[in-house]
Amino acid sequence: MAVKDVSNKVPIYKLKTTEEVMKYYDEWGTNNKYDQDMIDWDYTGPKETVEIFKNHAKNKEIKIYDAGCGTGLVGVELKKYGYNNFDGADLSQKLLDLVPHGLYKNLSKTDLNKPLNIKDNEYDAVLCVGTFTFGHVKPPALDEFIRISKNKGLLCFTINEGIYEEYGFDKKIKELTEKNLWKKKEFFKSNYIASKNVNAWLGLYEVTK
């Protein structure tokens, strides 16, 4: 079956380096154009992901790490369902500056492609929505997400269909499964950016330590 080419659907998908992506995001954050584009494009990633997550995370007091939080779209969805204890991290300070005040407990400017300055077993759950995409965060970040998660912690993430095999996410997921570092709870193709006909794999895994 032919792989659908989604690289021309969204301008940022053409960018390859972290520097190019950061420059684009800094301009995208001006006058809150980023959030408006997400609405216009019918970007359903945060809503869909949190709806799946809440079915597995019944305790609303758990500590959550929102990796690649952007302007806080996932945080807004978490709040709707009564979660309050979550931190956010993103590489773009411009987007972090647009996060609603008081939504997250802590916000940090962080490169998710590098080792995280977070101790082992710190979080009950890690969410990563819209960040595993073109020119963004690579598969080794999943190792770090497992490291900072507690035993039986939840990892919930989206992977843009256009980079799933190209960046080696398929191999990384297989490797982590074979090493018994996590157990699959959910894995399916979601709408993601409906108006652009761009789908993402949505995965939810339980960490096993």
Taking only the tens of pLDDT, the chain with its 209 residues reads 344 444 444 444 554 556 666 665 565 555 565 556 555 545 677 999 999 999 999 999 999 999 999 999 999 999 999 999 999 999 989 889 999 999 999 999 999 999 999 999 999 999 999 889 877 799 999 999 999 999 999 999 999 888 899 999 999 999 999 999 999 999 999 876 654 556 889 999 999 99
Phi/psi for 153 (5° steps) reads -70, 160
202 neighbors 187 (Cβ within 8 angstroms): yes
Q: Quick one: pLDDT at residue 200? A: 85
Model pTM score: 0.83
Measured over all CA atoms, what is the biggest interatomic distance in the chain, rounded to whole angstroms?
46
204: left (phi over 0), alpha (psi -120 to 50) or beta: beta
- Rounded distance between C-alpha atoms, residue 170 and residue 162, angstroms: 12
Q: Which helix (H) or strand (E) holds 128?
A: strand 123-132
207 neighbors 152 (Cβ within 8 angstroms): yes
Q: Quick one: pLDDT at residue 8? A: 45
DSSP state, 14?
G
Give me the domains of the chain, ranges plus CATH numbers: 11-112+119-207 (3.40.50.150)
